[in-house]
Amino acid sequence: MSDTSFQVQAGGQLCGSLRVPGDKSISHRSIMLGALASGVTRVSGFLEGEDSLATLAAFRAMGVRIDGPDAGKVTVHGVGLHGLQAPDAPLYLGNSGTSMRLMSGLLAGQAFDCVLTGDASLSGRPMRRVVTPLGSMGARIDSTAQGTAPLHIHGGAMLHGIDYDMPVASAQVKSSLLLAGLYARGTTCVTEPAPTRDHTERMLAGMGYPLQRDGARVCLDGGHGLSAIEIDIPADISSAAFFLVGASIAPGSNLQLQHVGMNPTRTGVIEILRRMGADIEVGNERDAGGEPVADLRVRYAPLHGIAIPAALVPLAIDEFPVIFVAAACAEGRTVLTGAEELRVKESDRIQVMADGLKRLGVQAQATPDGMIIDGGTLGSGCVDSHGDHRIAMSFAMAALRAQGAIDITDCANVNTSFPGFVALARSAGLSIQSAG
Active site residues per annotation: 318
In the three-class reduction of DSSP (H, G, I as helix; E, B as strand; rest coil), residue 427 is classed as helix
Residue 333 β-bridge partners = 374
DSSP state of 402: B
At residue 130, what are phi and psi to the nearest 5 degrees?
Answer: -105, -35
d(CA 22, CA 239) in angstroms, rounded, equals: 9
Lay out the sheet containing 230-232: strands in order across.
Answer: 65-70, 73-77, 40-44, 230-232
Alpha carbon dihedral 199, 201, 205, 211, in 10-degree steps, equals: -170
Q: Which residues contact 348 (CB under 8 A, 6 or more apart)?
A: 342, 386
Print the SS3 string covering 54-69: HHHHHHHHCCCEEEEE
Cα dihedral across residues 314, 91, 225, 78: positive or negative: positive
Provide the residue type at 163 as one letter. Answer: D
